[in-house]
Structures are given as C-alpha cells and as structure tokens.
Amino acid sequence: MKKLYSFLLLSGIALSSAAQTMRVHCGPVCTLIPAATAGDIVPSADATALTVMGNTFHVADIDSIVVDKTTVYTPGLVDVAYEGAKASITVAGDVAPLLAVTVTDATVSVLQDPTLASEVTYRLHGASDNGFFGMDGEYKATVILDNLQLANTTQSAISIENGKRIKIVLPEGTTSTLADAAGGVQKACFFVNGHAEFSGAGVLNLVGNTKHAFASDEYAQFSAGFGTFNVTHAESDAMHIGQYLDARGGTFNLSGAKGDCIDVEKTKDVTDVNNGFVRISGGTFNLDVAADDTKGIKNDSTFYVTGGTIIATVSGNGAKGISAAWDMFINQSSGNATSIKMTVSGTTYMPGDPLLESKCRGIKGKRDLTFDGGDINMTVTGAKAKGISIDGTWTYVSGTTNVLPS
C-alpha cells in the first residue's frame, strides 16, 4: 500500500509539471492518459486499484507506469503494432473504458461497448506470419492499414463484425498485404460486416486461401482518390460485396480467382437502397476471368457504367466479362472517360448437364442495355462466343463500339 501511495504522489507531482503523457502498461496493452485531462488519480479503499480518466486499473495487472514529456496522445486512437509472434496495443484513455481489448500472442480482438458514442480509429501496422485483428461493436469506426503485413494460419487476417460504416484508409505511399488460412471456415481473408468505405492512395494486396479474398455484407465504396486493390488468388470470389458497389476511382487488379472477380449480390433486407446495384464512375478494373463459368463483374440488379475503364481477359469456358441481372446503362456522364476493352476467347461450358451449359460472352444482360457514350472494343475468338448478348432491348444513342448484340 505504501508503494502505491508513493507512486500516486509522485505521479501527481509529475503530471502537474511539464510532463505531457502518462502510460499505464498492463501486459501488451498500454493506456495513454494526457496530463491535461488526467484529473485526480483515485485509489480504491483497499489500495488494490486506481482510477484515472474513467479507467480503472488493478494494481496486480500493472507492469509499469511511465510519465514522460512527449505529446503522443490522439483522442479515439487505438494503435495495434504486430511484431512476429506478438502484438502490442496502445489505447487512448478517452475510449479505453469502452473497449474490451484481448491480446493473445499476435491475435487481437476488440469489443466496443454498446454505449460508445464516438468514433474510434484503429491503426494497424507491423508484420506477423500468424496474426489477426478482429473488431465488433455498434458504432462506426475507421481502420487504417499502414504498411501492415498480416497472414494467419487458422482464420481470416482481418474480420470486422461491426455492422456500421467502416472507413478503411490506405495512406499514400504504403503497401499492406493480407493472407488468410487455407481450409478454414472464414468467409474471407478480409471481411467487413457493415458498410466498407475505402480511401487513401496506398496499395492493398489480398490472398483468399479459404473462400473470398475480400467480402462485405453491405455496400463497398471506393473514393475518387483511391489507390490500388490487388487480388492474386481466391478460392472463390476475389471481391464478394453485399447491397451495392460504388466505385469512383482506384485501380483493381483481380486475378487467380476460382469464382468471380467481383460478385455483387442483393441483401435479404428488401428496404436496402440500390440493392444489387453496380455503379462505376471512375477507376480501372483489370479482370482476369480464367475459371470456367465465372464472371468478371456480376450483379443482381441494375448495372451503371458512367466513367472508368474495364479491361477483361475472358478465357474461361462459359465465362462472362460483365453479367447483369437487370437493366444496363453504359454512358459518358461522370467526367471520366468510359472504356470497355475485352478479349473473349473462352468456349462453351459443358459440365455434362445441358441445363447448366453456358456460352462465353463479353457482356451478358438479362434485360435492356442502353449505350450512350464511351467506347466498347472487343476481340472475340472463342467458339460460339459473343461480344454482347442481351435478353431485352439494345438502345444505341452515342459512343463507339466494334461489336453489337447478336
């Protein structure tokens, strides 16, 4: 007890002088307390715990407390650093009382309290050959991937179970690489349960060894200044997106998928807006559609291309460069040039069941297609393959194309 009170006295003197930050270390988790907001350090009656800035620390759990003169405190920030077989966490004191942080080796899980009412930013960096980051909660959050190199041997690399808006930031000049375990039960290497909004000019590399490389249960949005999204392998889809895709920029290099390059499916909630939609107004999509009976971009509803470039190599038997379940609109209206370039060389997919047979197509639409601006250029060499095939009405207004529906 004397040691605790001596520490409290010394800390109070330090915090009242020139020091800026108090660091409370409990195992791999460090909580930061800024001097300006630390207030009084209150010991429990039996001197087995102390409370500061709403955080209660049990003395038995404290490894060390350091008071220094550095200003490192950022409100709402959780910093996760991976280093081989371990991870260390630094948590801002203002949000620490509302976060349950669990760290086992390089496996990090964070549960946000239901009463949390301010956004938390998670910065992930470092490297681990068997690391994981998981987060769940009921309030929106930001996740920064800052030169993160993360692989896992039993599950996904990142799993965000939080169903709210999740901003995913790739800082300019950074490259992050994620790979999940083979033979697992996870839905994706990188999974977001809620609305995924990507920004930042960095690079993200994904490998999906069990199913999808990236998956979101609700919409995925990519900003006009977005960087590069690479998938080199996926046991199923490279990108599997619920509700809708809104791509305004970025470069997407998607190859090695045994499923579709991009699959956008309707959610089960009929009230969700733009359910099953694809909206592409910018960016460049380089799609390698090599697996049989797969699609470069597939969706369950209306398909809009108003700008950007789609380049597809469609070599799988029965494969499609673009497959839309509803009306399609290809035009020039976003300020970005609209260009669709495809090499279609696949032949008929014949699995032995005539009802499952499908022919190779550059663009396949199950309803109407309106073309009003931009350029469509295809080379079609596959036996019985076609550049454009639609089940509804073809409406030409403007633009250039070297293939017509047939």
For 322, what's the count of Cα atoms within 13 Å in the CB-facing half-sphere?
32
Least confident of 1-10, 47-56, 120-129, 260-269: 1-10
The label of the residue with tokens 């380089």 reads 286
- Which pLDDT band, with edges at 50, 70 and 90, does 2 fall under? very low
In whole angstroms, give the CA distance from residue 169 to residue 201.
8
Alpha-carbon span 76 to 93, nearest angstrom: 8
Nearest CA-CA partner of 41 in 31, 53, 29: 53
pLDDT mean over 36-60: 85
* Secondary structure of residue 72 in the 3-state scheme: coil
pLDDT above 60: residue 222: yes
- Asked if 311 and 341 touch (Cβ cutoff 8 Å), the reply is yes
**Tell me, what DSSP letter sits at residue 337?**
P
Q: What is the mean pLDDT of the chain?
A: 93
Query: Of 133, 120, 228, nearest to 175 (Cα)?
Result: 228
With a CB cutoff of 8 Å and minimum separation 6, the contacts of 147 are 125, 174, 175, 176
Structure tokens at 123: 């910065």
User: Taking CA 157 as the corner, what is the angle to CA 289 and CA 312, rounded to the nearest 5 degrees?
Assistant: 15
pLDDT of residue 362: 98
* pLDDT tens by residue, 49-80: 989 889 999 999 999 988 877 766 799 999 99
Task: Taking residues 112-117, report their average pLDDT.
Answer: 98
More confident residue, 22 or 222: 222
